[in-house]
Structures are given as C-alpha cells and as structure tokens.
Structure 1
C-alpha cells in the first residue's frame, strides 16, 4: 500500500472514530441546539487535523507546520482513549442495574476525564526508553565475540516530532551501555523533510569507535531516501541493505525493506548473498516476516522492528494477531531466534499505553 492510500484509509478510520465519540458525548451530555451543532463541527474538523498537518509538514516544512503536526498527533492519541471511553460507557449502559443508581452524565464525566488523564500519562511514559537484556547463544561463535554485547534499536522515526534532542538522549543511553556492536533495524527517519544531519551527527560519538550497521525500513521510502542514507553513511553507519558482512567470524546480513517485501523476494536475495552456513549469522529485517526463508538460509538470530508492539493497547492485540505472536520479544522459530523490538520512538500518536519504548542489549554466547 502506498503512502497516499495508507493515509486515506487512516483518515477514514479517524473520521469514523470521531463520529462515534461525538455520538457518545451527544447522548450522555444531552447536547441540544447550537451546542450540539458546534460540538459536531468541532469533532468533524478536528478529525482532519492529522492528515492536513501531515501534508503540511511535507509541502511547507517549518516550525509552525511541525507544531501543528505534533498537536494533531497528541490529539489523535487522545481520541484513541476517548474512543475506549465511549466503549466503556456503552458497556456500562448495557448494565442497566448499575446505571439506575448513578446519573449517566456523571459517569461519563469520570470516564472521559480518565481517558484524557491516561492520554497525558501515556505521553510522558513514551519518552522513557527502557533497556531490555537477553543472552543469545549462536553456534560456532568465535572467542572474539563470546561475552560481547550487541545493542539493537529500531523505529526512532526522526522527523517532525522526534528531532535532535531525542537523538542526543538516545545516543547518551546507548553510550552508557558500552556495546561492542550496534544494529539499527530501520525507520530511523519518519519520512517528512528534515535536515538529516541534525539527527545522524550525534551518533558519530558511537559510530567512530563501535561497528554500527543499518538497514532501511518502510519509512525511509516515504522521504528522500538517498539523502537519508548519505547522511547515515557520512556519520559512520554501515549500510547493509541486501548485503552481508563477516566481522571477525560473525556473519551479519541486512535485508532491505523494499526488495524483500515478499517471501519469494526474500528467498532470492538470501540465495544471491550465498551465506556461509558454518558461521554464526545475525540477520536484520525490518518486518518480522519470512522466518521460514531466513531459517532455511542458515540464520541464527533475526532482528526486526516495525510493529511498535501496537504502541497503544488494544492495538497491541491486533499486531500480535497479524504477526502470529512475533510482534514483540524473543521467540524461537525452529532453529532461528527472532527478536522484534517495540521501537525506540513512535509514529502517529506520541503516546504509549501498556507498551514501552526500548533498546535491546544481547550478550553473545557460544551454543555448545
């Protein structure tokens, strides 16, 4: 699905959700006359803010358009929680015995104010980046890598919302972990116009001394990909889109998002790369799919992102279903270990609810 079609689908969903919330508010607060008219138009117009501000950041990038986009995304996240509030109110109304004791409008006040509070807390929560730690055993791991630490992160989405300060904070966190290897699993950029050096330059503190590998995600395709990759390379990232690197006996493979979107394309790319099956192999692929092909090619650890673990509940239930349980965490697939990160940033709403922003540190051990 192209970006334009994706945004149209998202807009239709956003408009539908705004309508549902309006009907709920209208019902429980008994809006009439001019109040009902103005609230209706307020919800209708606010449903367009995400799409219009998204377009504005691409056509006329400026502080004003970025601020408008940020406010629109915060509102979009708030709408998510207000929608959940509307669902709660509908369920409570079905429990008529309960509502006979309490005036529905007062219940609605509490539910909707609670939804707004959760939105605020989720916004603050999303800015905290957690460090996940795992030990992974790889066969034939050279002594050079035993006990060493590889840090993996993805989905920073630098652009209109996450900018230089966010990059500095993440670099400080990664630096404090003192990794021996760094892997970036795609969607470093969000897509809208940005001076890429603003967010890649801080990483020089890491890339000058630590081997740092990068693959493209789908969001690199939504902007000036060539400029993005140039900036990453200039500031020390090793781009390994559809390439393999053997680093002191450790085979590192990168699969580009665009060229490996299908199982057949993934299989063909892996065949072309002619992986050495005797070496411990780490494969970076932005979307956690095609594990069968990767396992058959001799991969031992697959690192993915993209899903954000749904970012906000209950969307996380949907991603869990869509990706067959591989939407988050370390999971086995036959002889392959698959880790899908929830990401270090956010897309769309900057809130996180019942998920966490993260980076992942793997301690490498030899598989006996």
Structure 2
C-alpha cells in the first residue's frame, strides 16, 4: 500500500460526505417545498440525486482511461449537473434558514412560493456561472520588479494557468484563448501548471493550438497537480511536440532576467496536500547560475513557500491552483489554506507574488464570484 496516499483520505471522506450529504439535503428540500408525497416520485428523485454524485466519481475515472464518446458525454453531463447542484444546495440551505426564522418569528408564509423563487434564482445564477466560465477576460497589471534590466522595461508578460484542457475545454476553446493571448503581442508567456485536466484520452489535439502561441522571448511551462494525475510522461510527450520549454527545477537567464521553474511534486514524502516542500529554498539556491542580487521570476503552481522564496532573493512568483474558490463560497476555503496569497497581487518585502484564478475549471464548468482571467503584465 502506498502510504503517501493516506494523506488524501480526509479530503476524500469530506468530498464524499459533502456530495452525498448535499444531494440528500436537496432531496429533502424539494420534497418538502413542493409537497412531493407519492412514494414512486420520492424514490425516483432520491435515486437520481444519489446516482449523479456517484456518476461524477465513476465517470472521472473512466474519462481518465477512455477515449470513447460515451465517456466524454457522461462526464460532461454529470460535471454540468454538479455545478447546478451546488447552487441548488445553497438554495436549499437558504430556504431552511428563512423558513426557520419565519417559524421562529411566528410569521406565516407560502413555503412553495418561497422555495420555487429561491430555486429559480439558483438556476439562473448557475446558468450565468456556466456562461461566465467559458469567457476568460484579459486582466492588465502593471508589475514593478526591482533592478529590472533596461531590456525588459515596458515588455509584456502573459501568464497562462489552470486551463484544464480535456473533455470540457477542448481544442476550439484553447484556440480562442491562444488568439486572445497573441493579440497582446507578448514578449514572454509563462504557463504555471494544470494545462491538462486528465479527462481526455487524446491530448494530441492540443498540439496545433499550442504551437500557435507566439512570444518573442519564449514560452515556458511548469507542472501542476493535474499533470501528475494524468501522468507526467503523457503530458510531457505532448509538450515535446510544441515550442514550449518545460522547466523542471531549472533556470534560464533571458537578457538579465532569471526565469525559474519548479516541479509540483504532489506525492513527494516531504510534500503535503497543497504541494508545499520544505526544500524549495534549497532547490532555488542550488540552481546553476542563480544570483539572488539579480531579478527573477519564479514559476510554481501553488501559492505556497512564500517566505522561502522571499528569503533566498526571488523577486516575483507566478502561481495559480486555487481558482479563487471557483464557486462562491469556496473562496473562503482557499483563503483558509493560502491566506492572503490565494488570489491577486501581494508582496512580502521586496518579493511579490501574483496568484491567478486561472482560465478553466475543475469538475463543474462553472464560475460564480470570480471571472476566468488571462493576466497580462507590463513590466517596469
């Protein structure tokens, strides 16, 4: 038995409890609000609401190993349902809270009317979330890096992160993103992991769009946790067919600007669920040619080890991974894990970090409370 996998058990248990418990609460709310009493209807509804979360787990495993159209369609259906179900769950909680308060206050109200209205609003919000997830926006950011060489003054850096290419975000979506990026006329493109999702058996369909990316000083990539899920050899084999340079605990010097790329080693004995390693500082300082007195950009998938990066003299870090929660209110959980570094531009002394919420989604193709983004940095 691989004991390194035991660390994931609490998260698996929590996920299963949340999914099945949440669907059961939806069941109780729907049957209560709409007075569904017929045994056949109640049994059918309960069966449906238990099958769908189970279907998400099962289809995720099948999609990882299969290239069949049936696997693709099944995964898309259950992932889409999961996005709607999260909103229905929030609606159910709101209905229970409002009903409880009204009963406590001794106020009369029409439970069916209240429930129908709240569930309708949840469905409308979910529809917006589906649309929002498919329309990444350019986010322009001015970035000051200490001692930036004159050759880099005014240059444009684009970050590409967490696009999760697979069954939901396919080659056409990637091509549209590539066109958005190329329109910025970037000097440098840095890809900070989770380029692939792990749900598409044929990754070669992404080679042509990836080869359409253009950047004067190059395109660089580091792994994320989903490259590990899909299998690093498989993901890297696709990237070898492109112009993208993979940085695996490596550094390149581009006209006086040090670009550092560190692997996301999810199952390393010294790495926890968030990917945090106690050796990050040592790895950076051991890189051939690294000079703490010269400007540097660190590419690492997760917004962690901030103090280590700052201590060894890194100027700036690009990260992703958190999705900024992806769906409200899960952003509160990412804040609990990563603190103020879970999203946006933050600093610690001369060190700064930008954590993007990414372009794609994991699981439900939905974003509520944030907008998918392509960060475009103007260096100065």
Number of paired residues?
Answer: 365
The answer for the alignment partner of 2:347 in structure 1 is 332
Listed one character per residue, the Cα deviations across residues 226-245 of structure 1 (whole Å, up to 9, x for unaligned) are 12112213211111121011
What CA deviation, in whole Å up to 9, does each residue of 1:135-175 have, x standing for no partner?
Answer: 11112211111000100120010112111011101101001
> Matched residue of 1:205: which SS?
coil
User: Out of 267, 277, 287, which is 2:292 matched to?
Assistant: 277
- 3-state DSSP class of the match of 1:324? helix
Q: Is the 8 A contact 1:193 1:223 kept in 2?
A: no
Distance between the aligned counterparts of 1:281 and 1:266, measured in 2? 15
Question: Which residue of 181, 184, 187 maps to 1:180?
Answer: 187
What TM-score comes out, normalization by structure 1 length? Answer: 0.94
The corresponding residue for 2:377 is 362
Compute the RMSD of aligned alpha carbons: 1.9
Partner Cα separation in structure 1 for residue 14 and residue 61 of structure 2: 15
Name 2:249's counterpart in structure 1. 242
Q: Distance in 1 between matches of 2:198 and 2:351?
A: 32
Please give the per-residue CA displacement for 1:58-97, whole angstroms capped at 9, x wherever unaligned: 2332121111101111100111000100111011112226
Structure 2 CA distance, aligned partners of 1:74 and 1:29? 24
Match of 1:149 among 147, 156, 172: 156
1:77 corresponding residue in structure 2: 83
Q: How does 1:1-368 map to 2 (within 5 A)?
A: 2=5, 5=9, 9-32=14-37, 33-96=39-102, 100-207=107-214, 209-258=216-265, 261-273=275-287, 275-365=290-380
Contact 1:282–1:301 (CA<8 Å) still a contact in 2? yes
Runs of 4+ in 1 over 3 A off after TM superposition: 1-9, 97-101, 207-210, 259-263
Structure 1 contact 328–342 (Cα < 8 Å) conserved: yes
Native 8 Å contact 2:260 2:297 kept in 1: yes
Shift of 1:203: 2.0
Which secondary structure does the structure 2 equivalent of 1:178 belong to? coil
Separation of aligned partners in 1, 2:295 and 2:83 = 42
Measured in 1, the distance between the counterparts of 2:240 and 2:65 equals 26
Q: 1:213 to 1:51 in 2, by over 3 A?
A: same
Deviation at 1:10, TM superposition (A): 2.5
Q: 1:234 to 1:23 in 2, by over 3 A?
A: same
Give me the whole-angstrom Cα distance separating, in 1, the residues matched to 2:293 and 2:285. 15
TM-score, length of structure 2 as denominator length: 0.91
The 2-side partners of 1:302 and 1:100 are apart by: 55
Unaligned runs of 5+ in 2: none
Shift of 1:101: 4.0
Q: Give the unaligned 5+ runs of structure 1.
A: none
- 2-side partners of 1:34 and 1:193: how far apart? 38
CA contact (8 A) 1:93 1:99 kept: no
C-alpha separation in 2, matches of 1:194 and 1:40: 33
- Cα distance, 1:28–1:99 mapped onto 2, change above 3 Å: farther
SS, match of residue 38 in structure 1: helix
Q: CA deviation at 1:31?
A: 2.2
